[in-house]
Amino acid sequence: MSLNFKSTICLVFLSLYLQSWSQDSTQVNTVNVIDNPVGIFSAGVYWANPVGFSFVNDGLDLKPGFALSLRAYVLPHLTVGAHYNFIRGEVKKRRITGNYDRTHIWVLGGTLGYDFNLRSKLDLTLLGGVGSAVYRNKKGSLRFTDRGMALWLTPEFNYSFTSNIAFYVSPEYRYDRLHIDVPEALEKSFKNVSYLSIGAGIRFGF
């Protein structure tokens, strides 16, 4: 993801936050992101940004993907649910990744979240999750898959347009622990992948 695009996303969210903050501080917070929902569905764009020493960071060029989430309230502020995200990548250094051309990476797992109301129309949801990470690699008609476990932590900021529709921005830290058979000298690069990523989209209460 380009620096200019990251900056634009940050500026849009900052302007929304400042607009909310500038409202009369004595105003009663009658409109929250979601008005007494049973659950929440969200969909948006997902930019994965690998960090640290790994074959993903050093050998792949990742493209924007998408994320989907479905959560249900089990207590007034507590949600449990499922999360899915998908990205694709192209090999830029085959000597690092191995002999393939492109990859599809997705994560599917469960989440636990807790909502906080910050201001009128502005909420924060702290989300944590665990699931399965799948790296499906391709070279021509040849396909092979690497799998592992993904852990992630996300503070999700939500700005409401109506009582049941909100725009969200969610920076995310994700750690993938992969099960890939490689020589011991390469284990750190191929078995531990970290990401500092960001998502943005729309969420709906129902």
Tell me, what's the pLDDT at 37? 85
CA distance 186 to 131: 24
Single-letter amino acid code for the residue at 108: L
CB 115 within 8 A of CB 102: no
Q: What are residue 16's phi and psi, to 5 degrees?
A: -65, -40
Q: What percentage of the chain has pLDDT greater than the value 90?
A: 80
- The token pair that represents 81 in the structure block: 């649910």
Locate the domains of the chain by residue range.
3-22+34-205
Does the pTM exceed 0.85?
no
Binning the chain into helix, strand and coil, the percentages to the nearest 5 are 15, 60, 20
pLDDT (average), residues 111-127:
96
Tell me, what's the pLDDT at 35? 55
CATH fold of 3-22+34-205: Porin (2.40.160)
Render pLDDT for 144-186 as a digit per residue (tens, 0 to 9).
Answer: 999 999 999 999 999 999 989 999 999 999 999 999 999 998 9
CA distances to 93, 109, 180, 190, 191 from 55, in Å: 9, 23, 12, 6, 9
Render pLDDT for 9-64 as a digit per residue (tens, 0 to 9).
Answer: 554 444 554 455 444 443 434 344 445 789 999 999 999 999 999 999 999 999 99
CA distance 119 to 117: 6
* pLDDT higher than threshold 70 for residue 3: no
CB 110 within 8 A of CB 80: yes
